[in-house]
Structure 1
């Protein structure tokens, strides 16, 4: 549900965002579990996503989380699509949850997920959800159960925002239209001043917020921000955002702090699109093809990171 219209906090000149580049990420190396780590060490990600109309959103987010390096995957999806997802993702444990009449997640079934809280490092919540109002009730019931996990909110799950900040690690991934819906601003106002909008949103909700677009802005509650202008037109395609949410969740499951997971996810997503554009052309590649590019990209970036050995020792 949209909250009352958001206004940028404070007055005067906005802070200048840092450029999100490979050089910056080299100072934020991803946690390296080492050569002898098992799947538990690499982190467990829970993807709660999908609907009978958009089961593919859960599939895209789940595969992306594994491609980002998470060691274990659990997918929770509406009952009528769970079996299909289990067959499509043999690497995952898949749970079928009760649905509302509108095809969303029923809050009464949150208790079934509670026992996973002690095991899960990160949660991706929202891709492909239906029935916004009842899905919000589900999300608000679920969040306290996973207070110790980094939670990536996408699509309708983001509508669980309120007037008070989250009291747990949260990453949000709205595009301009979703940000307008969440804040009460017009889409034009969001596009006219994306930096001010994302800074105000991050401060208001106490979350790391990535405002997606041809230029993506990432803001933190402390007023700091990143700017990334390296996307490609082909990324504007169905399922691309689901893939990004899964990448961020997988990186967070590995142990990356929310800002680092978000920044790495945004850059890897864009570089995967650029690789496909070189091979296939600027437009027409599919969101399902993005994730397969990611492991090699992480490997290449990691080799250039001066902090790799330090991350392994940590």
Structure 2
């Protein structure tokens, strides 16, 4: 466990990752502050955590959110592309407030993709000599049950431009356990962890496993980048979001995300969740 100190502030606490982090920290007996966008979303905070308003776009509220906090789990909300304007000042304020560890949710392969916002945040934390820990997870299994759920449920297809590349997917619950471990145990400041599952699948294999779990056929559409961008545009996605997605899948097609590892097992003491386990557990998300 960590040395006696203050609370842990978890940003993005009502999303898949933030909720998992807050839950595992609470289970570990930590004092957890769940950062929520506004008071109305405070009811969505994890049980046994304190909800505080943390609006990334409202610096006036940051001191109250950071009061009594000595560690922070930081993620970049998808709608924020200008990290220099928003996240950099929050990092500065956290350091000024005495935060002794910032665990940043980065991106696998970020060291090969300098155009991503995550790369800029990592670079800034290093420039500030901040007490950072970088978590660089592979693609979340939950992308299939949230972002791409409707394509799967309504069309029976997975529509991402990954070609035949393989991915060692990560369950966000495993990521939450990892974050709790590095925030509560010594020896993780200044480290960067690449987090992959222990099996590697292409999207044809993902489609087969979903078909087996859901009881209806799911196929991988294997769209081109142009077809994928057209679908996102049709759905009303913002231009900067589309550019980030294009960069991410460019890295996927390079097979940077293909390699499994046992880092989750090493940091948490338990094996990574398999995609079959995840699909069975979350099958209600795709129920027709």
Q: TM-score, normalised by structure 1?
A: 0.43
Q: TM-score, normalised by structure 2?
A: 0.46
Per chain length, whose mean CA-contact separation is higher, i.e. which structure has more relative contact order (CA < 8 Å, sep 6+)? 1
